[in-house]
Structure 1
Amino acid sequence: MSALASSSSASSSPPARGWQGLRYGAPGFPLAFVALPLYVTLPNHYAAEFGVPLAALGAVLLAARLLDAFVDPWIGRWADALLDRSARAAWLAMAGAAVVLALGFRGLFFPAVSASTTSLLVWCGGLLVVTYLAYSVISVIHQAWGARLGGNEQERAGVVAWREGLALCGVLVASVLPSTAGLQVSTLVFAIVLCLALALMRQAPAPRRLAVWPTHSLALPFGTPAFRRLLAVYLLNGIASAVPATLVLFFIRDRLQAPAYEPLFLASYFAAAAVSVPLWVRLVARLGLARSWLVGMGLSVLVFAWAAVLSAGDVAAYTAICVLSGIALGADLALPAALLAGVVQRAGHAGRAEGAYFGWWNFATKLNLALAAGIALPVLQAFGYAPGTKGADALQALTLAYCVLPCVLKLIAAALLWRHRELQ
């Protein structure tokens, strides 16, 4: 009881605003910059450039992502210990992980091994594990730091909006830079931007700390019913988003037969998401977090249903779809983490267990991505699809996986969120 009493009287930093928001959110830019190539470009790069079979590549991606995901809860607990010690200790851990991340990111796209399939798969799997772990350390500490800034519903959404808004800017750059300047330049730019972002983060608002630091178990978040309900919604919605993210380049190149327009499609998607984030935060003031997220899910379903009827050459229609689905993405990025921060506050765990919650949260995120790559790619291969295929049956399978499956999963997630809309 004494520890809890001390936590209620401890001072806490105000939610990040203005320049403070920029300093806190800055790492979101390079983290997203590296996330897009890792989760979207890398599978297509190894399949198209090196001829790695989709089934084998999917298995390696699944194994690496699952291993990384299972480590995240421990990283979260470590993040709590670092944040309890001092903001400086947490920042130093982020800086050390940044060095590993920059080196691993470059090594993945420029393998220092022979071009044999086995060597490439081993190289890819090993470096993915190292790179994912470094990425996880930075991202979990960053998220837990932000949750400890506290605030009411709209203020929490504002904190997340800074982080995710800058992340979308990073994704926007990452969607264009590799195709215009090449991967050599992209990896160098990433390393420079990561250093600058961490320098800004060093001056960010300090996270809340308890006067007494009680220990907690790894499973603490699962003792909170609201967390279990929110996590179920997040898992289903996340898989619905991860499947098209894994398949988008295949859809553009083979279904639309418009590879020259990839920069336009990706840039319009992420630009629309970045612009929409402040609008979603404003909507929260009117509808609340949960209902605003439901609006985003509904928009996403309508848009992907439209995408299912597209055919080769439908560039203008798909550009419009990218813009509208990007707007829906803004809700997925800005609102769920703000809901989670509220769950932590209401559970009485603010200032001591944010890392544990976000460790499991990141576990769920990576599980979604792992399942998307580990299931969608082998299933597509089983149905006769391979990069460059133009057969009607193979393209129909690609369309069903890219468009229809995400709609079904989004609708189930929306139904669960509606049932538990008191989560906000």
Structure 2
Amino acid sequence: MITKKQLFNYAILSMPLAFVGLPIYVNINGFYAKEYGVNLSFLGFLLLLSRAIDLIQEPFVGYWSSYLIHKKVSQKRIILYSSILLSLSFFALFNPPISFDKQMIGVWFVLFLVLTYTFFNFAIINYESIAVYIAKNDNERLAINSWKEFFGLIGVLLASILPSLLAIFIDSDLKSSYFYCSAIFVFLIFTVLLVFFRSVKINKIEHYTRLNMKSVFGEIKNNKIFLKYLYIFFINAIAVSIPASVIFFYVEDVLRASQKLGLFLGVYFLAGCMFIGFWKKIAQKHGIINTWIFALFGSVITFIFNCLLGETNANLFFIVCFASGLFLGADLIMPPAIIANIIHDKKEKVTSYIAVWNMLVKLGLVIASSASLIILGFFDYKIGSYINNGLWAIPYVYSVVPCLIKIIVIVKLRQLQKRKDY
């Protein structure tokens, strides 16, 4: 049985990894546009190029990790080396040389964003695969993932509020804030790796299977149960990513409360942290799939109310954020627990399975963000304009569309339940 000390030593690494994930996937474009004057269209092209490389390389990172494990390189060593390189590339990304012109800034942006994505992928894929190796049953998988996601949410909260806190307490501009943030990340990840994560014990793989790229991805392609759940996770990723892509526009132009955006997000993630333990206990008692279906229903019922809010009752959004955040924990811990149950016996191929899963989740994010912006543009939405023909579409794109997609996820989960594909 896994002790709480072992859970803590493993799970705390998700805090610095989540801390770095928010800036490189959410904040980076605004930082370069505002601080270095990079043209938005040019920046958009560079960002699309970098994320395309990030998406395409994911399965190869998973396979290379499988290959290294096959050659008896420990995952802890892979995580350590990739974290060193991640720290250097992340620090460089947010601190480009001040002497560079805009063209060289663009080159620096692509180079170090791609390197940051690469080393982050190596670290996160191997980190998540360790959870599969050390858990022996559903209860342990739920415990590991609940602890991991709890610290992950703390990392996201820290990354969300730290730039603002630094700006307030040490009177720094955005550029200086991110200098301090990148330095804090380096300190955090090495403290966690050297003090806590080094004591995590991983069972050695006794018998290695035949390993080549064709056989690994051929096996994944033929794993019908894995693919069925992968399809569900992909649909759910789209449902989750649409609100993340549209929330700025919703708060800015529907609620007219842009100054409260950080508070809204803080309430949402705080509620997620508070109820992760609750969802773990419910899943242990009633089953992982049943619990996830119940949580999906709950998130639909609460989130749909966003289409009724406006400037006059914007503060009610705090209640919706807390209520929908309550169900966030289940959405975070159930999918990895399901995946772990399916692939726990795949030995060194586990990293390849996790990489394919991560790639599909990222693809869902790309589709959701692109589609939501295209839809709003089709209805002639213009950000910040009071005379706005497309304003009516935002609440529906933000709340109704994701809820409809989540209902599809519920139906698909029920179908798999009836066929006992778990």
The TM-score with structure 1 as length reference comes to: 0.86
Q: Deviations over 1:353-406 (max 9, x none)?
A: 211210111111211222233443355445444543444334333333322221
**How far apart, in 2, do the equivalents of 1:356 and 1:151 lie?**
20
Q: Deviations over 1:318-371 (max 9, x none)?
A: 1111112212221111110110111114xxx34332112101111112112222
Contact kept, 8 Å, 2:208 with 2:347, in 1: the verdict is no
Match of 1:418 in 2: 414
TM superposition shift of 1:89? 3.0
- Residue type of the alignment partner of 1:395: L
Change (3 A) 1:54 1:415: farther
Contact kept, 8 Å, 1:77 with 1:353, in 2: the verdict is yes
- Residue type of the alignment partner of 1:167: G
- Residue type of the alignment partner of 1:37: P
Give the alignment of 1:164-179 within 5 angstroms: 164-179=149-164
**How far apart, in 1, do the equivalents of 2:102 and 2:383 lie?**
17
Contact kept, 8 Å, 1:23 with 1:203, in 2: the verdict is yes
Match of 2:348 in 1: 352
Q: Which has the higher contact order (CA 8 A, sep 6+)?
A: 1
Change (3 A) 1:342 1:245: same
TM superposition shift of 1:18? 0.7
Contact kept, 8 Å, 1:67 with 1:129, in 2: the verdict is yes
Change (3 A) 1:270 1:295: same
Give the alignment of 1:233-312 within 5 angstroms: 233-312=232-311
**How far apart, in 2, do the equivalents of 1:358 and 1:267 lie?**
29
Give the alignment of 1:102-251 within 5 angstroms: 102-112=87-97, 122-181=107-166, 182-199=177-194, 200-215=196-211, 216-251=215-250
**How far apart, in 2, do the equivalents of 1:106 and 1:390 lie?**
40
> Aligned to 2:81, which of 85, 91, 96?
96
Change (3 A) 1:147 1:251: same
- Residue type of the alignment partner of 1:396: W
**How far apart, in 1, do the equivalents of 2:106 and 2:370 lie?**
14
Match of 1:368 in 2: 364
Bigger Cα displacement from structure 2, 256-265 vs 164-173: 256-265
- Residue type of the alignment partner of 1:238: A
Secondary structure (helix, strand or coil) at the match of 1:101 reads: helix
**How far apart, in 2, do the equivalents of 1:28 and 1:235 lie?**
22
**How far apart, in 2, do the equivalents of 1:295 and 1:228 lie?**
23
Change (3 A) 1:277 1:267: same
**How far apart, in 1, do the equivalents of 2:218 and 2:42 lie?**
34
Contact kept, 8 Å, 1:40 with 1:245, in 2: the verdict is no
Secondary structure (helix, strand or coil) at the match of 1:219 reads: helix
Q: Deviations over 1:200-228 (max 9, x none)?
A: 22211214412344325233222111101
Match of 1:402 in 2: 398
Match of 1:39 in 2: 25
Bigger Cα displacement from structure 2, 391-400 vs 313-322: 391-400
Q: Which runs of 5+ in 2 are unaligned?
A: 167-176
The TM-score with structure 2 as length reference comes to: 0.87
TM superposition shift of 1:57? 4.9
- Residue type of the alignment partner of 1:407: C
Bigger Cα displacement from structure 2, 131-140 vs 147-156: 147-156
Q: Which runs of 5+ in 1 are unaligned?
A: 1-13
- Residue type of the alignment partner of 1:188: A
Aligned length: 406
- Residue type of the alignment partner of 2:256: Q
Q: Deviations over 1:62-114 (max 9, x none)?
A: 4322321221222222223444555x732222222223322333444445479
- Residue type of the alignment partner of 2:123: I
Q: CA RMSD in A?
A: 2.7
TM superposition shift of 1:45? 4.2
**How far apart, in 2, do the equivalents of 1:212 and 1:39 lie?**
35
Contact kept, 8 Å, 1:376 with 1:401, in 2: the verdict is yes
Change (3 A) 1:141 1:286: same
Q: Deviations over 1:112-140 (max 9, x none)?
A: 47998866655444332221111110000
Match of 2:388 in 1: 392
Secondary structure (helix, strand or coil) at the match of 1:393 reads: coil
Secondary structure (helix, strand or coil) at the match of 1:214 reads: coil
Q: Deviations over 1:150-193 (max 9, x none)?
A: 32212111111121111011111112112221333222211211
- Residue type of the alignment partner of 1:328: F
Change (3 A) 1:21 1:243: same
Change (3 A) 1:77 1:120: same
Q: Deviations over 1:29-78 (max 9, x none)?
A: 01111222233333444566667676665554343223212212222222
Match of 1:65 in 2: 51
